[in-house]
Amino acid sequence: MKRREFLKNAALGTAAAGTATAIKAPSVFAKRSYRWRMVTAWPPHFPVLGEGADLLAKWVDQMSGGRLKIHVYGGGELVPPLGIFDAVRHGSAEMGHGAAYYWAGKSPATQFFAAVPFGMNAQQMNAWIYYGNGQKLWDEVYAPFGLQSMPAGNTGVQMGGWFNKEINSAADYKGLKMRIPGLGGKVIAKAGATAILAPGGEIYTDLERGVIDATEWVGPYHDYLMGFYKVAKFYYYPGWHEPGTVLEMFVNKKKFAALPKDLQEIVKTAAARSNVWMLSKFEAVNNSYLKLLISKYHVKLRKFPDSLLKQLKIYSKEVLLDITSKDKMSKKVYDDYSKFQKNAMQWAKVSEIALYNAENL
């Protein structure tokens, strides 16, 4: 679009004739109603994540005038939390709510649609998925499973985790047993730590009994609810391993295609609203809980030293190279992801980063 054309449009002053406000004649529809099941990876009504899933279902109900009712199941209520991918795949539920890195065992490329160590933050992930090639690639990764996924929430930048000693260099990771799943776990393993996979319900006791020395979870709000401040002293930031974790809503493609077009669009739009709602809640509540942890529970807030972060970044690149060299689809996705990230970071330097600097002068 050229400036002249751009301005010509701006200059148009034609007053179009008004149209009638409402068509008075009622139209009669015969519409089928649907009852769907959404299986989630979260405990029932889990703060923010489960609440977001509940809201998504409520909005769909309201927008469809009750024509699409979605019953939301907490993890374990209908199928186990990590059984939701297969449940939706095989049609025993129509819809799932989780995070794409849980399905790394199905296809390693799924991980790029949730969180990548030293990867993109929430705003950048949204830009890649909604406007870049992200959604197209995501569709390609999930197609062999008969599923389609889309963003339906974001945690924002997570915290680095809870430690019972100070972490001053990469050497302090040697021999450390830390609960940390996914790519982050692979990265600290390269630093000599042992990455432990423990479900949410066991972390507190494991930390209390010394089965693990450290853990990460989400952010101040969720970590407060878990009570980690009672069994670990040092709370580290930033969450380099989860810089803006995307929560997903996925559907069985056949069941979705069988919905009328209006209900399909309602589901998609509710997912987008739930995406911005969740990130907004995380952004709004995290700082209050961080302050509470520090002032009331005397948690010691610490930043990972730069030298350590540099080293972890090198390990992260190695981990990503391992994955992309072994899996063609992962390479295809990550090539696009990293190209987008490079551009987004250049833009961040003149926008978000420069603004944060100016505001903190």
- Draw the binding track, 164-193, toward its own copies (x: CB under 8 A; -: no contact): ------------------------------
Nearer to its own copies, 76 or 146 (CB): 76
From residue 162, how far is each of 187, 212, 231 by CA, in Å? 17, 11, 9
Binding to its own copies by residue 157, rule CB under 8 A? yes
Nearer to its own copies, 107 or 292 (CB): 292
**269: nearest Cα among 36, 59, 94:** 59
Interface residue with its own copies among 211, 253, 292, 304 (CB under 8 A) is: 304
**269: nearest Cα among 177, 152, 149, 174:** 152
**141: nearest Cα among 115, 110, 116, 112:** 110
Interface residue with its own copies among 110, 111, 124, 149 (CB under 8 A) is: 124
Q: Judged by CB under 8 A, which stretch of 102-110, 183-191, 258-266, 327-335 contacts its own copies?
A: 258-266
What is the rounded distance in angstroms from the CA atom of residue 322 to the CA atom of residue 70? Answer: 40
Two tokens at 240?
Answer: 């380099």
Binding to its own copies by residue 132, rule CB under 8 A? yes
Interface residue with its own copies among 139, 140, 206, 283 (CB under 8 A) is: 283
Binding to its own copies by residue 197, rule CB under 8 A? no
Interface residue with its own copies among 104, 194, 208, 238 (CB under 8 A) is: 238
Count of chain residues binding its own copies (CB under 8 A): 133
Residue 238: cis peptide before it, omega within 30 degrees of 0: yes
Q: Judged by CB under 8 A, which stretch of 95-103, 182-190, 207-215, 254-262 contacts its own copies?
A: 254-262
* Contacts of 222 by beta carbon, 8 Å cutoff, 6+ apart: 47, 48
* Contacts of 55 by beta carbon, 8 Å cutoff, 6+ apart: 274, 277
* Contacts of 268 by beta carbon, 8 Å cutoff, 6+ apart: 150
Which residues, 316 to 355, sit near its own copies by CB under 8 A? 340, 343-355
Nearer to its own copies, 139 or 327 (CB): 139
Interface residue with its own copies among 29, 105, 197, 295 (CB under 8 A) is: 29
Buried b (16+ CB within 10 A) or exposed e, 247-277: bbbbbbbebbeebeeebeebbeebbbebbeb
Binding to its own copies by residue 210, rule CB under 8 A? no
Taking the complex as a whole, how short is the minimal distance between the CB of residue 269 and its own copies, in angstroms?
Answer: 5
Nearer to its own copies, 131 or 326 (CB): 131
Our CA dihedral for 206, 207, 211, 215, rounded to 10 degrees, sits at 100
Binding to its own copies by residue 12, rule CB under 8 A? yes
Q: Judged by CB under 8 A, which stretch of 168-176, 180-188, 266-274, 327-335 contacts its own copies?
A: 266-274
Q: Judged by CB under 8 A, which stretch of 70-78, 104-112, 140-148, 326-334 contacts its own copies?
A: 70-78
Beta strands in 80-197 (DSSP E): 95-98, 147-154, 161-163, 177-179, 194-196
Interface residue with its own copies among 143, 144, 168, 225 (CB under 8 A) is: 225
* Contacts of 11 by beta carbon, 8 Å cutoff, 6+ apart: none
* Contacts of 114 by beta carbon, 8 Å cutoff, 6+ apart: 99, 100, 101, 102, 182, 245, 246, 248
Taking the complex as a whole, how short is the minimal distance between the CB of residue 328 and its own copies, in angstroms?
Answer: 25
Taking the complex as a whole, how short is the minimal distance between the CB of residue 123 and its own copies, in angstroms?
Answer: 6
Nearer to its own copies, 326 or 356 (CB): 356
**DSSP label at residue 214:** E
